[in-house]
A and B are shown apart, each in its own frame.
Chain A
Amino acid sequence: MNGATPKVEIRNLRKSFGTKAHRRTVLHDICLDIGEHEVVCLIGASGSGKSTMLRCINMLEPVDDGEIWLHGTGGAVDLAEPGLDPDPIRRRIGMVFQSYNLFPHMSVLRNITLAPMKVLGRSAGDAKATAMHLLQRLGLADKADAYPDQLSGGQQQRVAIVRALAMQPELMLLDEITAALDPVLVGEVLNVVREMRNDGMTMVLATHEMGFAREIADLVCFLQDGVILESAPPAQLFTEPQHAETRDFLARVIASGRL
């Protein structure tokens, strides 16, 4: 993050769920800078707030307080601003979910071309060319006419990534995209993430794959109960964690054989 111009600046982000009587704050005072072309990994136990944070950045959840500045060619916008139209923002940000969320009633090709055509107003031919190019790169060209339920989990997840990439986003949010996959299929999806990194994509990923986070991240943030307890480059965070909680978490992950 040092030196790079920030793509996203999160300042004192607070988010809670529930009714007035039963309010639970799930993100406390989050501050984070995500530099252009940087990869930030969010790690932490389940329920620590990783998904919520990504959903806030994509305006899928309204925030209670704080600022989320998204920088781009047209200047900066605060995504936490109440009343801001989410649609023009979301087309600039790609998101991939743990459960793929492909549209089951559409072919792979249609899944990918729908948004470029409807949102960006691309022609069918143009959208198809982009989609086929991306599918080719990921070795999925022969699946263009298949339906999602005819694909393996790994293939579905790669299609979901292509679907997001077809919008040519400035930023990608990846929420535990390998968590629902068979271990043998994890590799093919992580390879795509490596490639995106090599292409200079700015990414925030929530992940349980510590080995991968260590390899790919510029910055790793350890979340616990909605607080970023520690954030550091992977070499530092994984080898000499500053907090006892971080050490505990990493020890538990190692014990479960995922590092």
Chain B
Amino acid sequence: MAALSHREGAGDPPAPSRVLTRREVWLRQQRRRAALIAASSMTAVLLAVVLIVPRTPGWPTVKKTFFNGARFRQDFPDLLGYLWTDVKLFLTCVPFILIWGVALAMMRNIRNPALFPLRAFAAAYTDLFRGIPVILTIYLVGFGIPALGLKGEFHLLWFGGRWNSAYLWGPVALILAYSAYVAEVFRSGIEGIHESQRAGARSLGLTQTQTMRHVVLPQAARRVVPPLMNDMLSLQKDVALLSLLGVYELFRRAQVIKDRTFNYTPYVVAAVIFLILTIPETRLVDWYSARHRRRTGGSQVA
């Protein structure tokens, strides 16, 4: 805990070369033992997989159709090029989701009775889109709206095309769905700040706006970053669902190659590419969350 480490830090400065205390020796032994156990159990599991899986009856076929080395080398650079489409779609959605999500959260916070309809709308909206599987929203919006027979063309950032394009309504579907999640994250972030913080600020004579700006929002912002990052991570992967509307991105490309070669290796390649993108992001979220917990004084049990 912060208080403890603070006290230790303020205490005796470590001598440059001092003999280890008994406790330090013991801790070092414990750490060495833990590492040894982890390494040996890991090896045992890997050995079991390597020894057992190749003995299953279907393995030769699976190996040829899913883990084909030649196909892997050929498809990897091809598919990597299509990742950029996913990233572009993702980056286009994010600002709209954040802005619309904050707007919805603010609407739900409205206390003024005259503006009740806005509040009710925001509540209904978030209930609706949080309650529908993303894939259904994508189908309904992505096929439903173009079916209205819209004519003409649109231009938006780096995407442009016809008004009935999947490249327009696909991202719109993701924005509609994810803004509902994000609105809930923001709302619970604001409401999660204890009433006593508001009372403390108001008792000093700070106005409602000053209290929001200097006391509530800075604390809420720290709390919402980890769940927000998690939502963005899901969004990153859910972009692949737009392939169902015909958006030609990484997963769609993998399907096309599979259809042409009757080999499933491109799916494995696509999975690997997604992992290359998302694993660092996941680590970043974990690192930030852990730092956040330390900063906010949450205790950690070893």
Given A103-B197, A103-B215, do A86 and B3 touch, yes or no (CB 8 Å)? no
A105 lies within 8 A of chain B by Cβ: yes
Name the B residues within 8 Å of A88 (CB-CB).
205
How far apart are B201's CB and chain A's nearest CB, in angstroms? 8
The answer to whether A167 and B204 touch (CB under 8 A), given A105-B218, A149-B297, is yes
| Cross-interface CB contact of B204 among A55, A114, A150, cutoff 8 Å | A114
Q: Mark A230-245, 1 if CB is under 8 A from B, else 0.
A: 0000000000000000
Query: Are A104 and B296 neighbours in the complex by a CB distance under 8 Å?
Result: yes
B30-38, B90-98, B206-214: which one contacts chain A? Answer: B206-214
Across the interface, B199 reaches (CB within 8 A) one of A60, A119, A147, A149, namely A60
State in angstroms the CA–CA spacing of A101 and B206 once bound together.
Answer: 14
Residues of chain B contacted by A79 (CB below 8 angstroms): none
Give the number of residues in A that approach B within 8 Å (Cβ atoms).
32
Alpha-carbon gap, A47 to B117, bound state (A): 38
Q: How far is the CA of A211 from the CA of B275 in the complex (A)?
A: 66
Write the nearest CB–CB distance from B16 to chain A, whole angstroms.
27
Q: Does B41 make an interface contact (CB < 8 A)?
A: no
- Cβ of B246 < 8 Å from any Cβ of A? no
Q: A178 in the interface, Cβ–Cβ < 8 Å?
A: no
- List residues of chain B with CB within 8 A of the CB of A167: 204-205
A177 CB to nearest B CB, Å:
13
A97 on the interface (CB 8 Å rule)?
Answer: yes
- Complex formed: what's the CA distance from A99 to B203 in Å? 14
User: Which chain A residues border B6 with CB–CB below 8 Å?
Assistant: 146, 150
| Distance in angstroms between the alpha carbons of A119 and B2 in the assembled complex | 31
> B219–A97 contact, CB under 8 A?
no
CB distance from B117 to the nearest CB of A (A): 23
Chain B CB within 8 A of A87 CB? yes
The A80-118 residues at the B interface (CB cut-off 8 A) are 86-88, 90-95, 97, 99, 101-105, 114-115, 118
In this assembly, does A58 line the interface, its C-beta being within 8 Å of a C-beta of chain B?
A: yes
The residue that B2 contacts in the complex, of A86, A114, A149, with Cβ under 8 A, is A149
Q: How far is the CA of A101 from the CA of B200 in the complex (A)?
A: 6
Query: Contact: A119 with B204, CB < 8 Å?
Result: yes
- Min C-beta distance of B215 to chain A, whole Å: 6
What is the chain A residue whose CB lies nearest that of B204? A115
Cβ of A60 and Cβ of B204 under 8 Å apart?
A: no
Q: A103's contact among B200, B210, B222, B296, by CB below 8 Å, is which?
A: B200
Q: Does B203 lie within 8 Å of A105, measured CB to CB? A: no
**Distance of A164 Cα from B202 Cα, bound (Å):** 12
* Complex partner residue of A119 from B3, B197, B205, B215, CB under 8 angstroms: B205
Cross-chain contact B3 with A105 (CB below 8 angstroms): no
Q: Which residues of chain A are within 8 angstroms of B207 by Cβ–Cβ distance?
A: 87
Say whether B203 contacts A149, CB under 8 Å: no
Question: A167 CA to B205 CA in the complex, in Å?
Answer: 9
**Whose C-beta in chain A lies nearest to the C-beta of B196?**
A101
**Does A97 lie within 8 Å of B199, measured CB to CB?**
yes
- Chain B residue numbers with a CB within 8 Å of A7 are none
Whether B202 and A60, one on each chain, are in contact in the complex, defined by CB atoms closer than 8 angstroms, is yes
CA distance A104 to B196 in the complex (A): 12
* CB-defined contacts of B210 to chain A, threshold 8 Å: 118-119
CA distance A147 to B70 in the complex (A): 58
Q: Are the C-beta atoms of A95 and B222 separated by less than 8 Å?
A: no
Check B204–A104 contact: CB distance below 8 A.
no
Q: Is A163 part of the binding interface, using a Cβ–Cβ cutoff of 8 Å? A: yes
Interface residues of A in 27-72 (CB under 8 A from B): 55, 58, 60
Partner of A90, one of B3, B204, B297: B204
In this complex, what residue of A is CB-closest to B215?
A: A103
Contact A90 B205 (CB under 8 A): yes
Q: Decide if A91 touches B218 in the complex (CB within 8 Å).
A: no
Q: Are B3 and A149 in contact (CB under 8 A)?
A: yes
Chain B, 176-222, CB within 8 A of any chain A CB? 196-197, 199-207, 210, 214-215, 218-219, 222
**Nearest B residue to A96, CB-CB:** B203
Residues of B within 8 A of A150 (CB): 2-3, 6
CB atoms of B204 and A91 under 8 A apart: yes
Chain A residue contacts of B199, Cβ below 8 A:
55, 60, 97, 101
Interface contact A91-B196, CB-CB below 8 Å:
no
Q: 5 closest pairs, A vs B, by CB? A: A91-B205, A101-B200, A115-B204, A149-B297, A95-B203
Given A114-B206, A167-B205, 10 further pairs, Cβ under 8 A: A90-B203, A91-B204, A97-B203, A101-B196, A103-B197, A103-B214, A104-B296, A115-B204, A146-B6, A149-B2
26 pairs of residues in contact across A and B, judged by CB atoms under 8 Å: A58-B203, A86-B202, A87-B205, A90-B203, A90-B204, A91-B205, A95-B203, A97-B196, A97-B200, A102-B200, A103-B197, A103-B201, A103-B214, A105-B219, A115-B204, A115-B206, A118-B206, A119-B204, A119-B205, A119-B206, A119-B210, A146-B6, A149-B2, A149-B3, A149-B297, A163-B204
